[in-house]
Each structure stands twice: as structure tokens, then as C-alpha cells.
Amino acid sequence: MADLPCAPASVRLAEDGSQDVPWTEADRLAALSRYAILDTPREAAFDNIAQLAAEICEAPIAVVNLIAGGRQWFKAEVGIGARELPLEVSICRHALLQTGLLIVPDLSQDCRFECNPLVTQAGGLRFYAGALLETSEGLPLGTMCILDTKPRPDGLTAQQQRLLQGLARQVMSELELRRALAERDAQVVRAQASETRFRAVFDQAAVGMARVALDGRFLEVNDRFCAITGYAREDLTHTDFLQITHPDDLAPDCAQVEQLLAGEIDSYSLEKRYVPQSGGSVWVNLTGSLVRDAEGCPEVFLAVIEDISVRKAAEEELLRNKRQLRLALEAGQAGTWSWDATTGVLDWDERTHTLYGFTPEEQPGFAAWRERVHAGDREAVLARLDRIVRTPGDDDWRLEYRVLHPEGERWLLMLGHAERSADGRLLLTRGLKIDITERKRVEQGRQLLVRELDHRVKNLFAVTSGMIRMTARTAQSPREMADSLSGRLAALGKAHSLIQGAVSDDAVRRERVVLHDLVTTVLAPHLSDTTDQLRLKGPALQVGPQAAANLALVLHELATNSVKYGALSTPKGKLKVAWQVSGEQVTLAWSERGGPEVIPPAEEGFGSKLARQLVCGALGGDLDCEWRAKGLLLTLTLRLDPLRI
């Protein structure tokens, strides 16, 4: 990079002070050489681009400038009057060291150019704007630039900048086109030379070749044709193509031959099977043409045969894989979908229609799909899809969201892949949609179970701590304390066995229980040995096993809260649990007094929410809470039918 200038302050520098660019000067010059553009005559395509740049930017000078070794050469120019200038006076060479546009509002005020002869001379240059001419590999070849003899403090407008960069890309397109045309011409020459050598290379061809008489006899075959068919050359030249073609493929082959002879077609290509001498079959692609003499009469057939057995096997394997994929999609309850970003057309398979509750005959558009997305998830889903549309590189993604299915809410997992144009514009997205409703239900249940376990463990520690303090207050000796505490812990275990059924299937294996006994069992671990803290009042009432488990859990939550914050947290506290039956309704009152000052909580805790959920849900009742100054009053209003279960 010795021919290039030191980097300006705005260009990144490596630790050793050299320009931090991802290319070498040798690579850049080699790339420029491959275009074979230097010192070529003027061409209208490039001249027109330069003229257009000058007009768009309202500049007197426009140049398609290529930075060569030791010089800058102009493929097209307006206002210069020369085809090249020394590299030492080049402004464009500075643009190679940075990305994007190089815009210099006043060259005479820039330390890089203030001493440049093109600037200091009378009527010298003042304004410069250059867009890189860059290969697909990121190698800068030069610039599409415009210059002015007057400063431009405001530079170029945003539109002029875009158009100048677009013209730079157009220059590169023209360079690529020139190279492609040159390569095409070279290919034509090579093809002509290949035709001349055809006879010499007949036997060495990589594909099978044969000259066939008009009656179907093989006149001449090459080694590859023998290898494909499995016959020796002498055997083939004593037979015809009818004898070695698979019976099922004869009719279409003969039909094409007849069209050739009739002059209806110039050549034909078909896939057929040969029957090798060893048996079985081999798939080939046959291209047939007819050679005519000087008078246009048919003379001989020329056949080119390609062995496509491997491709056929791969196609069969692909077909099997597609069938297996369909089975996997069905087993996984997954549907396929695609969305054409250019037309807005949604394409769903039958399974995806079912996931959203549409019939296969319906053709829902984007608006219909949007309405099926749950309102709570809609904004997040649309925002994610918008990022996919606008962000090249964000091409593989997944979304979990709820949909409003006619039969109820469902959870879907959407997997997608984006296909884009060369400039990053979204063309198509496609992917899978999977019903994950059951998985979400299990996850939510697991989360609830974890919260319940955490709540139970914390409460157990709190209750046990309270038991120890309560026992210590009344015990006369360590032995008495140990015996009393053991009894309380045993009672606590018995109470926990009752509430287990509320979170498991154990309830179905128990008998009915009397409500009085249920309340006593649940509250026993929390009562003082020396005081009459608990008073129960109510008629004999039997409760079913499942209802008993749920009611035990509710009473356990109330007792735990009372031990921590209420009447059971102090020896002088009193608790009264009374119930009465009126028709098909049971009313149970939990009344506390004598405890600490009653302070309503700022918000309902997990245990209280769980108790309310059980009362209002599983037990089909209501729970009313009154925070009285003398103590908490809770009223449970329950129906008899759920209590019998």
C-alpha cells in the first residue's frame, strides 16, 4: 500500500499506525486487473453515468476514476479533459481508506488537500464527493466522484448522496457486465474449438456417445456408453437401441425418433432406462439429434447419454424423506406455512388451518390471522415480525403466543426462516406451527407446584418455630418440652396427611370425615397445652374425601396465618370456629380475638390466594374477610353438594 496516502484522522488505524483496512494493495490491484478495463476506449455506458452524476449533483466535474499503480485513470469524465493524472495529486485515493461516501465541503480548508496543486492553482478545486467503486469481495477499485470549483458547506443532499452511491453501483454493474460478456465470448470460441475437435475426443468423452443408424442400429459407441450399458463395443454394434431399452420406455423414445425424422423437432431429451447385460436397469438422460446431409436428408442419429442413476436414487430418497417428514409433522401436530412479503399472500397447509380454527376451504389473509392472535400477545408478536421484516440477518426465529381458537384458547409455537434478496429485502418467510397448549399447561402446573412447595416449606418452618416457642413457655422441664413438642409434630404430620389430597389423587382413597374432627385435627398442632384457645360449635356434618382435603388445606392456611400474625401467635389469643347448616348451604365462621393488633395486609399473599381459589373454585362457595379491631373474622359460605364429594 505504498502508493496510498497516510490515513486521515477519521480512518481507523492499527496499533502499528498503518491503515486498518481488510485488504492489501496487491489484492486490490489484482482485482482491478481482472476487469481488463484500464486504457480501454471511451464507452457510452460509462460516459452517460458520469454525465448523469454531474447533472444530479449540479457539478461541473464528474469522473469514473480507477486508482491504478502510480496513476489515476478515468474511464469516463466530464469537465476534466484528460484520461489520467498522477497519483500524487489524487483526491480519490483517500476515499479508498474509508467506507461510504467521502465528502469534503472545502478542499482548501482540509489539511489533506490544502497543498494539492489541483486545489492551489487559480480556479482550483474546492468541493469533492466520492462513492467507492467496490467489488463484491469488498476491494475498492476507485470512485464515482463529482467535484466543484466552489465550496459547498452543506455538501450534498441526502437524495444526491443516495443517487451518487447508486451510480457507483451502476458503474460496478457495467464492469461486471463487460467481464461477463468477455467471458461469454471466450466460451463461444472454446465451444467452436470443441466442435472442431469433436471427432478426436469422441472416445474420451465423459458422457456416453453413439452414432445410430436410421433403423436403430448402433454404428459407433464410445467407451463411456459401453460402461453405462454394460455391453462390449462389439456387442452393441451388432444390435439396436430397441433391444437394450427397457420395455416400459420404448414407446416415448420411438415417438420422439419419429418426430425427429418428420422434421417436427430438431432434438429431444428424455429420461429412460437401459437394460444392462448383467440384468436390472440403469437410468440415463438421453439427448438425441439428427444429422442431415447437404440436401437436408436424414443421415444418422447422434445420441448423448448421461448416467443419472445417482440422481434418480437421490430423488427417490428425497421422496421418502418427504413422506417421513409429513408423518413427523402429523405426529408432532405441526403445520407448515409461508408468507410472501411481496404479495402479502399467506399459504397454510390443512393442519395450520386447523390450529387457528379455519376450514381448509378458507383463505385467511394477514388481517384475519392478526385477529386470531390473542390480544395480550398481539403487540409483541407484531413487533417481532416487524423486526424480522426490517432487519437483514434476523432470519431464523421462534415465537410462542396464544391464539383465539373457536374451541378455546390455544398456545402455538411458530418457527420461521426468512429468505431475502441480495440487498437484504425480505422476500419470503416459511416455517412450522406447533400446538404447545398441553406443554404450556404442564409448565404452568409445574410453576404452581413449585410455588406451592416453597410456600409449604416456609410455612412449615414458621409453624415449627411457633410450636417450639409455645412449648417452651409452658414446659417445666426439658423432658416435658420434648414430649409436648413430639406430640405437636405428630399432630402436624397428621394434619398434613389430610391436606395432601388437595394437591394429589390421594383423596379418592380416604373415607368421609366429620367436620368437627377435621377442624380439630388441622388445628391441634397450633394450640397451647395449658389454655383453652379453641372453641368449636356446629352440628355433626360429614364431608367427602376430596372436599375434606380441600377444606383441610383452607383451614391449614388460616391456621398458619393465625400462628404467624393472629390470635394463635399469643397464649392469650382465642379462636372460635362455628358452622351451621341452612337448607343446602353451610356457613362456617372463623373468628379470632385477643391477638396482636389487626393490620390488613397491603396485598393478598400466595396462601390467601390459594385458600380463596379453593373456596370459590373446588368447593363452589364464597369467602368473606372482615378485619375487625378485636380480631379477624372470616366467613366461608359453602354449598352442600360439593362438600359431599
CATH assignment of the domain containing 206: 3.30.450.20
Lowest-pLDDT choice from 205-219, 354-368, 576-590: 354-368
List pLDDT tens digits, range 349-366.
888 888 888 888 888 888
452 or 70, higher pLDDT: 70
Collapsing DSSP states into helix, strand and coil, what is residue 173? helix
Looking at 372, 405, 435, the residue that finishes a domain is 435
Q: How far apart are the first and last CA of the chain?
A: 90
- Average pLDDT of 104-112? 94
Long-range contacts of 424-431 (CB under 8 A, 24+ apart): 424/392, 424/393, 426/341, 426/388, 426/389, 427/340, 427/341, 427/342, 428/338, 428/339, 428/340, 428/341, 429/338, 429/339, 429/341, 429/388, 430/336, 430/337, 430/338, 430/339, 431/336, 431/337, 431/338
Q: What are the Cα distances from residue 456, in Å, to 502, 551, 582, 607, 609?
A: 13, 16, 34, 9, 14
Closest to 621 (Cα-Cα) out of 602, 640, 607 = 640
CA-to-CA distance for 335 and 368, rounded, in angstroms?
18
Q: Residue 572 in contact with residue 601, Cβ under 8 Å?
A: no
pLDDT beyond 50 at 205: yes
- Residue 108 parent element (H or E): none
User: Is the residue at 548 inside a domain?
Assistant: yes
Residue 255's Cβ-count burial label (10 Å; 0-12, 13-18, 19+) is: exposed
Beta strands in 323-466 (DSSP E): 334-340, 346-348, 396-405, 408-420, 426-435
Co-location of 490 and 556 in the same domain: yes
Residue 163's Cβ-count burial label (10 Å; 0-12, 13-18, 19+) is: middle
CA-to-CA distance for 468 and 3, rounded, in angstroms?
89
pLDDT beyond 80 at 193: no
- Average pLDDT of 594-623? 82
CA of residue 558 relative to chain centroid, distance: 49
**Which residues are 637's β-sheet partners?**
587, 622
pLDDT beyond 80 at 508: no
Dihedral (Cα; 588, 592, 597, 599), 10-degree rounding: -10
User: Is the residue at 287 inside a domain?
Assistant: yes
**Count of Cβ atoms closer than 10 Å to residue 116 Cβ:** 18
Mean pLDDT for the chain overall: 84
pLDDT beyond 50 at 154: yes
Collapsing DSSP states into helix, strand and coil, what is residue 176? helix
pLDDT in the model for residue 13: 38
551 pLDDT tier (thresholds 50, 70, 90): confident
- Average pLDDT of 269-297? 89
- Cell representation of residue 252: 416415448
- Average pLDDT of 285-309? 89
Co-location of 495 and 634 in the same domain: yes
Kindly state the DSSP code that residue 217 receives in the 8-state scheme: B
pLDDT in the model for residue 134: 94
Across 5-9, 161-165, 593-597, the highest mean pLDDT is recorded for 161-165
List pLDDT tens digits, range 161-182.
999 999 999 999 999 999 999 8
Co-location of 235 and 376 in the same domain: no
| Owning domain of residue 338 | 332-435
14 pLDDT tier (thresholds 50, 70, 90): very low
User: Is the residue at 375 inside a domain?
Assistant: yes
CA-to-CA distance for 91 and 124, rounded, in angstroms?
13
295 or 16, higher pLDDT: 295
pLDDT in the model for residue 268: 92
Closest to 555 (Cα-Cα) out of 640, 461, 623 = 623
User: Is the residue at 445 inside a domain?
Assistant: no
Percent of the chain with pLDDT over 70: 84
User: Is the residue at 577 inside a domain?
Assistant: yes
CA-to-CA distance for 172 and 144, rounded, in angstroms?
10
Co-location of 162 and 37 in the same domain: yes
Co-location of 424 and 292 in the same domain: no
pLDDT beyond 90 at 610: no
- Residue 103 parent element (H or E): strand 101-104
Phi, psi of 584 (to 5 degrees): -100, 25
pLDDT in the model for residue 451: 64
pLDDT beyond 60 at 502: no
Co-location of 295 and 354 in the same domain: no
CA of residue 566 relative to chain centroid, distance: 54
pLDDT beyond 90 at 104: yes
Q: What are the Cα distances from residue 128, in Å, to 95, 149, 151, 266?
A: 10, 9, 9, 60
Co-location of 290 and 424 in the same domain: no
459 pLDDT tier (thresholds 50, 70, 90): low
561-593 burial: b if 16+ Cβ within 10 Å, else e: bbbebbbbbeeebbbbbebeeeeeebbbbbbbb
pLDDT beyond 60 at 511: yes
CATH assignment of the domain containing 556: 3.30.565.10
Closest to 27 (Cα-Cα) out of 64, 65, 69 = 69
List pLDDT tens digits, range 375-393.
888 999 899 888 888 888 8
Lowest-pLDDT choice from 385-394, 477-486, 590-599: 477-486
Looking at 401, 416, 435, the residue that finishes a domain is 435
SS3 assignment for 568-631: HHCCCCEEEEEEEEECCEEEEEEEEECCCCCCCCCCCCHHHHHHHHHHHHHCCCEEEEEECCCC
User: Is the residue at 241 inside a domain?
Assistant: yes
Q: Residue 139 in contact with residue 31, Cβ under 8 Å?
A: yes
- Cell representation of residue 296: 437436408
Co-location of 212 and 287 in the same domain: yes
CATH assignment of the domain containing 153: 3.30.450.40
List pLDDT tens digits, range 21-39.
789 999 999 999 999 999 9
Collapsing DSSP states into helix, strand and coil, what is residue 355? helix
pLDDT in the model for residue 463: 56
User: Is the residue at 523 inside a domain?
Assistant: yes
List pLDDT tens digits, range 42-52.
999 999 999 99
200 or 56, higher pLDDT: 56
List pLDDT tens digits, range 536-547.
999 988 888 888
pLDDT in the model for residue 94: 92
Co-location of 176 and 209 in the same domain: no
Query: Into how many domains does the chain fold?
Result: 4
The alpha-carbon radius of gyration of the chain (Å, integer) is 45
CA-to-CA distance for 29 and 276, rounded, in angstroms?
56
Looking at 401, 435, 469, the residue that finishes a domain is 435
Q: Residue 232 in contact with residue 267, Cβ under 8 Å?
A: no
Residues 6+ apart with CB under 8 A from 421: 427
Closest to 254 (Cα-Cα) out of 311, 198, 222, 212 = 212
500 pLDDT tier (thresholds 50, 70, 90): low
Closest to 148 (Cα-Cα) out of 80, 76, 46 = 80
pLDDT beyond 80 at 77: yes
pLDDT in the model for residue 339: 86
Global pTM exceeds 0.85: no
10 pLDDT tier (thresholds 50, 70, 90): very low
pLDDT beyond 90 at 481: no
pLDDT beyond 60 at 113: yes
User: Is the residue at 629 inside a domain?
Assistant: yes
CA-to-CA distance for 617 and 455, rounded, in angstroms?
20
Co-location of 224 and 162 in the same domain: no
Co-location of 302 and 348 in the same domain: no
pLDDT in the model for residue 456: 58
9 pLDDT tier (thresholds 50, 70, 90): very low
Co-location of 491 and 634 in the same domain: yes
Percent of the chain with pLDDT over 90: 37
- Average pLDDT of 421-432? 87
pLDDT beyond 70 at 455: no
pLDDT in the model for residue 252: 92
CA-to-CA distance for 84 and 67, rounded, in angstroms?
10
List pLDDT tens digits, range 313-330.
888 888 787 777 667 666
